[in-house]
Every structure is written in structure tokens, then in C-alpha cells.
Amino acid sequence: MSGPVASRYRPPRWLRNAHLQSALAGSPPRRRRGFAALAATGALTRPVIVDGGDGVRLLGLHSAVPGVEPRGMALLLHGWEGSAESAYACLTAAGFLARGWDVFRLNFRDHGGTHHLNPDIFHSARIDEVVHAARDIAARMPRSRLVVAGHSLGGNFALRVALRAPAAGLALDGVAAVCPVLDPARTMEAMERGLPLYVRHFERSWRRSLVRKRELFPERVQVDDAVLRLRMRALTEWLVLRHTDFGSLDAYFDRYSIAGDRLAGLTVPVSILTSADDPVIPVEGFLRLRLPGHAHLELADWGGHCGFLEDRRLGGYAERWAVSRLAGTD
């Protein structure tokens, strides 16, 4: 790959603020738009527990349009502290369904109200269970094609699934990632240096998640109120030292980093969309990526973090982009 391709995304001037884009991306009006788009497809959705290996259970939502022979299965992965019902997941799902695809929106461990399914806490290095879940989905719901799309941390997971797919015997036809986390250490620094609203949002969401986990598994999750008051970096270090065997925060971040040349060995076709003004994922990391020749990296001047909104109705370029890259434009 010679370098990033300039994106055709051009929002109106009033939507060219990165923080406005990022805040509106997951706003209640946009979630309502996502639910409405899903409903308009006429698809039926059912919850499915899938096997993550080693006793791990993950909950997903399988959607299909009755009477339609599916062209393939799209596995969608949400971001940290998001869920299978996040606005971008619903809107992307609606796009695939409209093109005759089935969709499986997978909740990561401890997301989407699934804290009760597994006693141990979620962390971002739990890639094995997501790969195992993808294999279970492919085996139980075989389709002619299987693709994966993810946003933010979900984009990071999607790209790591692509890296591991050949060795896992998972046949993937393509992966699309929107604003994927590349280097977790740099993302932490960007949140700490940037507007407080981002780190505060994730701190509040994560604290609620840990409290719920403590209520369900008090013998396993011994987190007191003093720990819950820690800031993001210190709270992450507590997680690493108490609930993983990585030994240090740096080792944990390194385990799920996909920066530099870590994606160079990809054999699955991948597409990546990011914005130059993303306040959470520094664009410099994308410019330093070493990608194979078949990879597609698209860089937009605007879009914020997983925004790419186009108008007052909060239509999204990124969701259409992911569907187009993986399912075509027909």
C-alpha cells in the first residue's frame, strides 16, 4: 500500500468541529435513528448466546429479513462501553440488511447488560474469546461470505480477528474498521491531554460497569469505593495488576496494540477509515502504519471520533462506507 487515500467525506461547515461530531455520534437522537433504520428493514432480531471458549459465553443479536436468502453474514463489533445497540452498530446493521445480508451484532464481555454471563472482568486483550465466538457464529450460521466491521475498540478487535483468522481456521472475506484504536498508550495520552469530556465519559461508564460486576461476583471482583474514584490511568493499572497476568500497564497496552508494522502480515482484505481531527486516536499513528498492498486506508479531514455525520438528520458516512467496502454498492 502506497499511502492513505483522501476521503470523499465533506460535511457542511457547521459540522466540521471534531468535538461536535464525536458527541453527536452516540447521542440519543442518533440512537433513535439507528433503531428506526433497523425497524424499516423488516428484519427479525433474536438474542443468541455464543461460545467464547473455555466456558466463556457472549451474547449477540442476530438479525435477518424473513424470506430473503442471505448473501452473507456481517459480524459487527462495538466500541468500549458501547453495545450491540449503539447507534453506529444499528445503522451499519440496517445497511447490510438492506443489501440482503444477515447481521450478528456481538456484545463484548460485560457490555450490553451481559455482566452476569462471565465472572471475570472484560479487558481489551481478550481477543481469543472474540475469535472463538466468530468461529462459533460461522459454524452455527454458515453463510456464503463472512465479513467483520468494527468501530473504535471494535475496529481494533476486528483487525486482530483478521490477523488471527487464518491460524484459527476462520474464513473471512473482508474487514472494515472505523477509527480503530492503534496504540492504546497514545490513546490514553490523547484523552488525558484533550478535553476532559472524553476521559470523564469513559470513567463514568467503566465505574458503573465495575459496580455491577461487584454486585454479581463480590468474591471475584473486590473493588472498593476508593479504587472506583481513581482516574482512568490508575484505574486501568489496578485492573492490570489485580485481574490480569501482564504485570504492567505498558505490557497490557502492548498486548493489544496494532500500531507500526503489526498489521503488515494481514492476508484478509481490510479497509480502514479514520479522520485527521480524531480527538481520541491520533492520526500520526495511521500515517506510520505498515500495511499490505491489498489494504485500503482512507483518511478524512473531518469526522471526529466515529462521527462522520453529514447533515442535521445525523446521517452517517462511516456506516455506508463500511457496508460499501464489504458488501458492495448494489
Catalytic residue, from 86, 124, 152, 257: name it: 152
Catalytic residue, from 78, 111, 132, 305: name it: 305
- The phi, psi pair for 221, rounded to 5°, reads -115, 90
Candidates 309, 295, 223; CA nearest to 263 is 295
Catalytic residue, from 102, 110, 277, 278: name it: 278
> Looking only at Cα atoms, what is the longest distance across the chain?
54
7 is catalytic: no
110 is catalytic: no
Give SS3 for 284.
Answer: helix
- The phi, psi pair for 319, rounded to 5°, reads -65, -45
305 is catalytic: yes
> Degrees (nearest 5) of the Cα angle 276, 279, 283?
35
How far is Cα 288 from Cα 248, in angstroms, rounded to an integer? 25
Residue 252 has which C-alpha cell?
497490557
Candidates 74, 210, 209, 50; CA nearest to 130 is 50
Are the C-beta atoms of 50 and 137 separated by less than 8 Å?
Answer: yes
Candidates 31, 25, 81, 28; CA nearest to 200 is 81
- The phi, psi pair for 309, rounded to 5°, reads -80, 150
b or e along 3-13 (b: 16 or more beta carbons within 10 Å of the residue's beta carbon)? ebeebebebee
Active-site positions?
Answer: 152, 278, 305
